[in-house]
A = this chain, B = another copy of it.
Protein backbone atom coordinates (compact mmCIF):
# COMPACT_ATOMS: atom_id res chain seq x y z
CA UNK A 1 0.00 0.00 0.00
CA UNK A 2 2.34 2.69 -1.24
CA UNK A 3 -0.19 4.64 -3.29
CA UNK A 4 0.79 7.90 -1.63
CA UNK A 5 4.27 9.28 -2.12
CA UNK A 6 6.13 9.21 1.16
CA UNK A 7 7.88 12.51 1.80
CA UNK A 8 11.61 11.91 1.69
CA UNK A 9 13.75 13.14 4.54
CA UNK A 10 16.86 15.19 3.86
CA UNK A 11 19.75 13.71 1.91
CA UNK A 12 22.51 12.12 3.96
CA UNK A 13 25.13 14.51 5.25
CA UNK A 14 22.96 17.59 4.93
CA UNK A 15 21.04 17.96 8.16
CA UNK A 16 22.19 17.10 11.63
CA UNK A 17 20.87 17.27 15.14
CA UNK A 18 23.43 17.98 17.81
CA UNK A 19 22.43 17.34 21.41
CA UNK A 20 24.52 18.50 24.31
CA UNK A 21 24.25 18.20 28.10
CA UNK A 22 26.81 19.58 30.52
CA UNK A 23 27.25 21.64 33.67
CA UNK A 24 25.96 25.14 32.97
CA UNK A 25 28.68 27.74 32.53
CA UNK A 26 29.45 30.72 30.36
CA UNK A 27 30.62 30.17 26.80
CA UNK A 28 28.88 26.96 25.81
CA UNK A 29 26.61 28.32 23.09
CA UNK A 30 29.37 30.55 21.80
CA UNK A 31 31.66 27.56 21.47
CA UNK A 32 29.06 25.29 19.88
CA UNK A 33 27.99 27.90 17.35
CA UNK A 34 31.65 28.46 16.60
CA UNK A 35 31.93 24.82 15.58
CA UNK A 36 28.80 25.17 13.43
CA UNK A 37 30.36 28.20 11.72
CA UNK A 38 33.60 26.32 11.07
CA UNK A 39 31.57 23.53 9.45
CA UNK A 40 29.65 26.03 7.27
CA UNK A 41 26.42 25.06 8.93
CA UNK A 42 23.30 27.15 9.36
CA UNK A 43 21.18 26.86 12.49
CA UNK A 44 17.72 25.69 11.44
CA UNK A 45 16.50 25.52 15.01
CA UNK A 46 18.06 25.69 18.45
CA UNK A 47 16.52 25.11 21.83
CA UNK A 48 18.21 25.13 25.18
CA UNK A 49 17.35 24.68 28.81
CA UNK A 50 19.42 25.82 31.78
CA UNK A 51 18.03 23.81 34.67
CA UNK A 52 18.53 26.03 37.68
CA UNK A 53 17.64 23.22 40.07
CA UNK A 54 20.37 20.87 38.83
CA UNK A 55 22.90 23.32 37.41
CA UNK A 56 22.79 21.47 34.11
CA UNK A 57 22.59 22.91 30.63
CA UNK A 58 20.92 21.12 27.73
CA UNK A 59 20.94 22.04 24.07
CA UNK A 60 19.39 20.67 20.88
CA UNK A 61 20.61 22.27 17.69
CA UNK A 62 19.31 21.44 14.25
CA UNK A 63 22.01 22.32 11.72
CA UNK A 64 21.98 22.40 7.92
CA UNK A 65 25.17 21.95 5.99
CA UNK A 66 25.77 23.97 2.88
CA UNK A 67 28.28 22.83 0.27
CA UNK A 68 29.52 19.23 0.26
CA UNK A 69 27.78 16.77 2.57
CA UNK A 70 29.49 15.72 5.77
CA UNK A 71 29.30 12.51 7.63
CA UNK A 72 28.48 12.13 11.29
CA UNK A 73 32.05 11.25 12.20
CA UNK A 74 33.31 14.55 10.81
CA UNK A 75 30.80 16.51 12.86
CA UNK A 76 31.60 14.44 15.92
CA UNK A 77 35.28 15.13 15.48
CA UNK A 78 34.62 18.87 15.36
CA UNK A 79 32.52 18.69 18.51
CA UNK A 80 34.93 16.47 20.46
CA UNK A 81 37.20 19.22 21.80
CA UNK A 82 34.16 21.01 23.27
CA UNK A 83 32.93 17.83 24.89
CA UNK A 84 36.27 17.64 26.61
CA UNK A 85 36.38 21.31 27.56
CA UNK A 86 32.86 21.56 28.96
CA UNK A 87 32.50 18.01 30.34
CA UNK A 88 29.74 17.52 27.82
CA UNK A 89 27.67 14.56 26.84
CA UNK A 90 27.25 15.26 23.16
CA UNK A 91 25.66 13.33 20.30
CA UNK A 92 25.40 13.97 16.59
CA UNK A 93 22.59 12.53 14.44
CA UNK A 94 22.22 12.65 10.68
CA UNK A 95 18.51 13.32 10.07
CA UNK A 96 18.69 11.26 6.88
CA UNK A 97 18.93 8.19 9.10
CA UNK A 98 15.51 7.43 10.51
CA UNK A 99 15.25 5.34 13.66
CA UNK A 100 14.31 1.72 13.11
CA UNK A 101 11.45 1.00 15.48
CA UNK A 102 10.33 -2.54 16.25
CA UNK A 103 6.64 -2.30 17.12
CA UNK A 104 5.16 -4.73 19.66
CA UNK A 105 1.42 -5.15 19.99
CA UNK A 106 -1.11 -7.50 21.57
CA UNK A 107 -4.79 -7.41 20.59
CA UNK A 108 -5.72 -3.71 20.60
CA UNK A 109 -4.74 -2.32 17.22
CA UNK A 110 -5.52 1.40 17.34
CA UNK A 111 -1.97 2.59 18.13
CA UNK A 112 -0.46 0.17 15.62
CA UNK A 113 -2.90 1.22 12.90
CA UNK A 114 -2.22 4.87 13.64
CA UNK A 115 1.57 4.45 13.54
CA UNK A 116 1.46 2.50 10.30
CA UNK A 117 -0.81 5.08 8.65
CA UNK A 118 1.48 7.91 9.72
CA UNK A 119 4.59 6.11 8.52
CA UNK A 120 2.92 5.31 5.21
CA UNK A 121 1.84 8.91 4.63
CA UNK A 122 5.18 10.29 5.71
CA UNK A 123 4.07 12.17 8.81
CA UNK A 124 6.09 10.03 11.25
CA UNK A 125 9.82 9.92 10.41
CA UNK A 126 10.61 6.38 11.50
CA UNK A 127 11.16 3.03 9.83
CA UNK A 128 9.18 0.04 11.06
CA UNK A 129 11.29 -2.96 10.07
CA UNK A 130 8.96 -5.47 11.74
CA UNK A 131 5.95 -5.99 13.96
CA UNK A 132 6.04 -8.48 16.82
CA UNK A 133 2.98 -9.76 18.63
CA UNK A 134 2.02 -12.40 21.15
CA UNK A 135 -1.15 -12.86 19.11
CA UNK A 136 -1.95 -13.40 15.44
CA UNK A 137 -4.56 -10.67 15.07
CA UNK A 138 -2.53 -8.19 13.07
CA UNK A 139 -0.67 -10.45 10.65
CA UNK A 140 -2.87 -9.31 7.78
CA UNK A 141 -2.58 -5.65 8.63
CA UNK A 142 1.21 -5.99 8.69
CA UNK A 143 1.16 -7.77 5.34
CA UNK A 144 -1.00 -5.03 3.87
CA UNK A 145 1.64 -2.48 4.89
CA UNK A 146 4.43 -4.74 3.64
CA UNK A 147 5.97 -5.10 7.08
CA UNK A 148 7.26 -8.47 8.36
CA UNK A 149 5.16 -9.90 11.19
CA UNK A 150 6.54 -12.17 13.91
CA UNK A 151 4.25 -14.12 16.21
CA UNK A 152 6.05 -14.64 19.51
CA UNK A 153 3.60 -16.16 22.01
CA UNK A 154 4.32 -15.60 25.67
CA UNK A 155 3.33 -17.76 28.63
CA UNK A 156 4.82 -17.60 32.12
CA UNK A 157 6.88 -20.66 31.26
CA UNK A 158 8.09 -19.40 27.88
CA UNK A 159 8.68 -15.79 28.80
CA UNK A 160 12.49 -16.00 29.03
CA UNK A 161 12.64 -17.74 25.67
CA UNK A 162 10.21 -15.23 24.19
CA UNK A 163 12.36 -12.35 25.37
CA UNK A 164 15.44 -14.03 23.86
CA UNK A 165 13.54 -14.23 20.60
CA UNK A 166 12.68 -10.55 20.95
CA UNK A 167 16.36 -9.69 21.42
CA UNK A 168 17.17 -11.75 18.33
CA UNK A 169 14.54 -9.89 16.31
CA UNK A 170 15.96 -6.55 17.43
CA UNK A 171 19.34 -7.67 16.06
CA UNK A 172 17.92 -9.25 12.92
CA UNK A 173 16.04 -6.09 12.03
CA UNK A 174 18.78 -3.75 13.20
CA UNK A 175 16.23 -1.97 15.39
CA UNK A 176 17.35 0.79 17.69
CA UNK A 177 14.02 1.43 19.39
CA UNK A 178 11.20 -0.76 20.68
CA UNK A 179 7.69 0.69 20.73
CA UNK A 180 5.05 -0.99 22.86
CA UNK A 181 1.84 -0.16 20.99
CA UNK A 182 -0.51 -1.63 23.62
CA UNK A 183 1.69 -4.68 24.24
CA UNK A 184 0.15 -6.31 27.28
CA UNK A 185 3.17 -8.19 28.55
CA UNK A 186 5.38 -6.78 31.29
CA UNK A 187 9.00 -6.79 30.17
CA UNK A 188 11.46 -8.43 32.53
CA UNK A 189 13.85 -6.16 34.45
CA UNK A 190 16.73 -7.60 32.44
CA UNK A 191 15.11 -6.71 29.13
CA UNK A 192 14.39 -3.19 30.37
CA UNK A 193 18.00 -2.85 31.44
CA UNK A 194 19.20 -4.07 28.04
CA UNK A 195 17.56 -1.19 26.19
CA UNK A 196 17.69 1.87 28.45
CA UNK A 197 15.97 4.89 26.91
CA UNK A 198 15.12 2.79 23.86
CA UNK A 199 11.77 1.27 24.81
CA UNK A 200 8.68 3.52 24.59
CA UNK A 201 5.37 2.43 26.07
CA UNK A 202 1.91 3.90 25.92
CA UNK A 203 -0.01 3.56 29.17
CA UNK A 204 -3.73 4.25 29.16
CA UNK A 205 -3.90 6.61 32.11
CA UNK A 206 -2.55 9.97 33.21
CA UNK A 207 0.38 8.59 35.17
CA UNK A 208 1.08 8.55 38.06
CA UNK A 209 -2.66 7.94 38.43
CA UNK A 210 -3.92 4.44 37.74
CA UNK A 211 -0.79 2.39 37.25
CA UNK A 212 -1.09 -1.27 36.45
CA UNK A 213 -4.07 -3.16 35.10
CA UNK A 214 -7.40 -1.81 33.84
CA UNK A 215 -6.74 1.90 34.25
CA UNK A 216 -10.04 2.92 32.63
CA UNK A 217 -11.93 0.80 35.15
CA UNK A 218 -9.87 2.36 37.93
CA UNK A 219 -10.63 5.82 36.54
CA UNK A 220 -14.33 5.02 36.40
CA UNK A 221 -14.38 3.72 39.95
CA UNK A 222 -12.55 6.77 41.26
CA UNK A 223 -14.93 9.08 39.43
CA UNK A 224 -12.34 11.33 37.82
CA UNK A 225 -13.49 14.06 35.44
CA UNK A 226 -10.51 13.79 33.10
CA UNK A 227 -8.78 10.78 31.58
CA UNK A 228 -5.59 10.55 29.61
CA UNK A 229 -2.76 8.55 28.15
CA UNK A 230 0.95 8.63 28.91
CA UNK A 231 3.83 7.80 26.59
CA UNK A 232 6.96 7.03 28.57
CA UNK A 233 10.30 5.31 28.47
CA UNK A 234 10.20 1.90 30.05
CA UNK A 235 12.30 1.20 33.10
CA UNK A 236 12.38 -1.70 35.51
CA UNK A 237 9.74 0.01 37.65
CA UNK A 238 6.41 -0.67 35.98
CA UNK A 239 4.68 2.55 34.82
CA UNK A 240 7.31 4.64 36.60
CA UNK A 241 9.54 5.50 33.64
CA UNK A 242 10.19 9.06 32.46
CA UNK A 243 7.15 10.62 30.83
CA UNK A 244 7.56 11.88 27.26
CA UNK A 245 4.03 13.00 26.51
CA UNK A 246 0.49 12.97 27.88
CA UNK A 247 -2.81 13.70 26.25
CA UNK A 248 -6.11 14.08 28.08
CA UNK A 249 -9.79 14.83 27.78
CA UNK A 250 -12.75 15.74 29.95
CA UNK A 251 -15.18 12.92 30.75
CA UNK A 252 -18.31 12.62 32.87
CA UNK A 253 -20.24 10.24 35.08
CA UNK A 254 -22.25 8.78 32.20
CA UNK A 255 -19.29 7.07 30.60
CA UNK A 256 -18.78 3.38 31.31
CA UNK A 257 -15.27 1.93 31.48
CA UNK A 258 -15.79 0.73 27.90
CA UNK A 259 -16.70 4.23 26.75
CA UNK A 260 -13.72 5.70 28.59
CA UNK A 261 -11.56 3.17 26.78
CA UNK A 262 -13.03 4.20 23.45
CA UNK A 263 -12.28 7.87 24.04
CA UNK A 264 -8.93 6.93 25.49
CA UNK A 265 -7.87 5.16 22.30
CA UNK A 266 -7.71 8.51 20.52
CA UNK A 267 -5.59 9.95 23.31
CA UNK A 268 -3.29 6.95 23.33
CA UNK A 269 -2.70 7.08 19.60
CA UNK A 270 -1.92 10.81 19.65
CA UNK A 271 0.37 10.77 22.68
CA UNK A 272 2.18 7.70 21.34
CA UNK A 273 2.71 9.23 17.89
CA UNK A 274 4.05 12.47 19.31
CA UNK A 275 6.41 10.61 21.63
CA UNK A 276 7.72 8.50 18.75
CA UNK A 277 8.23 11.56 16.57
CA UNK A 278 10.04 13.50 19.28
CA UNK A 279 12.20 10.47 20.03
CA UNK A 280 12.93 10.04 16.32
CA UNK A 281 13.90 13.68 15.95
CA UNK A 282 16.17 13.54 19.00
CA UNK A 283 14.05 16.02 20.89
CA UNK A 284 13.88 14.08 24.15
CA UNK A 285 16.58 14.35 26.82
CA UNK A 286 16.36 11.83 29.63
CA UNK A 287 17.21 13.17 33.09
CA UNK A 288 16.47 10.67 35.83
CA UNK A 289 12.71 10.34 36.15
CA UNK A 290 12.08 13.41 34.02
CA UNK A 291 12.42 14.30 30.37
CA UNK A 292 13.26 17.51 28.66
CA UNK A 293 11.33 17.70 25.40
CA UNK A 294 12.52 20.25 22.85
CA UNK A 295 9.28 20.04 20.90
Interface residues of A (CB under 8 A from B): 1, 3-4, 24, 26-27, 29-30, 33-34, 36-37, 40-50, 52-53, 107, 109-110, 113, 117, 121, 123, 137-141, 144, 206-210, 221-226, 228, 242-243, 245-246, 248, 250, 252-254, 256, 262, 265-266, 270, 289-293, 295
Closest to A30 in B: B33
Give which listed residue, B1, B109, B225, B266, contacts A270 with CB less than 8 A.
B266
CB contacts (< 8 Å) of A34 on chain B: these are 30
CB contacts (< 8 Å) of A245 on chain B: these are 225
Instruction: Provide the bound-state CA to CA distance between A47 and B43, in Å.
Output: 12
Give which listed residue, B109, B139, B250, B252, contacts A121 with CB less than 8 A.
B109
Smallest CB separation, A88 vs chain B (Å)? 16
A223 engages B290 (CB within 8 Å): yes
Instruction: Provide the bound-state CA to CA distance between A254 and B144, in Å.
Output: 36
B253 engages A49 (CB within 8 Å): yes
B224 engages A144 (CB within 8 Å): no
Smallest CB separation, A204 vs chain B (Å)? 15
Instruction: Provide the bound-state CA to CA distance between A265 and B262, in Å.
Output: 19
Instruction: Provide the bound-state CA to CA distance between A191 and B188, in Å.
Output: 47
CB contacts (< 8 Å) of A206 on chain B: these are 206, 209, 224, 226
Smallest CB separation, A49 vs chain B (Å)? 6
Interchain Cβ contacts under 8 Å between A and B, 11 examples: A3-B140, A26-B37, A26-B41, A27-B33, A30-B34, A110-B121, A208-B209, A223-B289, A226-B248, A250-B250, A253-B291
Give which listed residue, B46, B53, B270, contacts A48 with CB less than 8 A.
B46
Give which listed residue, B41, B50, B117, B210, contacts A44 with CB less than 8 A.
B50
Give which listed residue, B3, B37, B52, contacts A27 with CB less than 8 A.
B37
Instruction: Provide the bound-state CA to CA distance between A246 and B280, in Å.
Output: 30
Instruction: Provide the bound-state CA to CA distance between A222 and B42, in Å.
Output: 28
Closest to A57 in B: B43
Closest to A138 in B: B3
